[in-house]
Amino acid sequence: MEISLHQASVRNDPEQLNRLLHKDFHEIGRSGAFYSKADTVESLPRQRSRVDILARNFKLTVISKDACLLVYEASQSSRDGAPRQYARRSSIWKLEAGIWQMLFHQGTPTRPFDPD
């Protein structure tokens, strides 16, 4: 589910975003900016430059029977040749009414790493 959110077909589809993001979703972006679910569902489909995201080194921690924390490294580059950005990402996923949804996401800038 996390990686599906990296795909343009999902990022550009408000219906899929609404299904994957919890009603109380919020994000602290790599820049430090705060985003609500409404901000995310509105802004992602309108992004002009498309990005390629490489994610690796996933670590999943079960918090409870209905919540888990996912931490991983990601690099992101625009297809127009913009410099690559690197971050350690974390997401909290919550199981509600039988559906896993992202409740929280954060990106923290890191030093560049070699893609595997």
What are 9-49's pLDDT values in tens digits? 898 899 999 999 999 999 998 889 999 999 999 988 787 55
- CATH assignment of 3-109, among 3.10.450.50, 1.20.1630.10, 2.60.40.1890, 1.10.287.90: 3.10.450.50
Please give the mean pLDDT across all residues of the chain: 90
**Percent of the chain at pLDDT above 90?**
66
Residue with tokens 């498309």: 50
Mean pLDDT within 53-60: 94
Cα 6–Cα 17–Cα 12 angle in degrees, nearest 5: 60
pLDDT tens across 90-116, in order? Answer: 999 999 999 999 999 999 999 988 765
The model carries a pTM of 0.89
Residue-level pLDDT at 95:
97
- Give the whole-angstrom CA distance, residue 45 versus residue 41: 7
79, pLDDT greater than 80: no
